[in-house]
Amino acid sequence: MIHNVFVDSDVIISSLISTNGAAHLLLSHLNPQFYYSNIQTKELKVVCERLKIPQKNLEKILQHLSQINIHNDDDCYFYFVHDPNDSHILAGAHQSSAKFLITYNQKDFRVEKIKLKFKIIVLTPALYLQYLRSVV
């Protein structure tokens, strides 16, 4: 069964840094419908430049993901994150009809409240891979 999955920027960057990690495996070899947002595109380019990751590597990963265009002006997501700068991640997950939000920063999200309100499960890449193995 394939579900919509929204990936946080840290997962995308991690997949570019290490070819051995769960994030790389997830984004390079599996086929669920992965989403990211237009807002993330800007921050991903800045982080890649800062870390000296070639932009072409970022573009290669992003071409296999679906981009959703969101506006970061909806206050309804602020209640569900500990850092207001992460509200656009939840907005993207919700607006892409994601069943899962994959992030290394679970502590930044009010995981139980998100699950109750939006029916989105927040997991790390490794936990999501474990979930996928359990449903096969």
Residue-wise pLDDT tens digits, 38-52: 999 999 999 999 999
* pLDDT of 75: 74
pLDDT-derived band at 33, boundaries 50, 70, 90: confident
What is the mean pLDDT of the segment spanning 54-77? 87
Q: What is the pTM of this model?
A: 0.92
- Phi then psi dihedrals of residue 37, to 5 deg: -115, 165
pLDDT of 1 above 60: no
Give Cβ neighbours of residue 39 (< 8 Å, ≥ 6 apart).
70, 72, 88, 92
pLDDT digits (tens, 9 = 90+) for 94-122: 999 999 999 999 999 999 999 999 999 99
Give Cβ neighbours of residue 86 (< 8 Å, ≥ 6 apart).
105, 108, 109
CA 85 to chain centroid: 14
Q: CB neighbours (10 Å) of residue 130?
A: 12
Fold category of 4-135 in CATH: Rossmann fold (3.40.50)
Give Cβ neighbours of residue 88 (< 8 Å, ≥ 6 apart).
37, 39, 40, 70, 72, 77
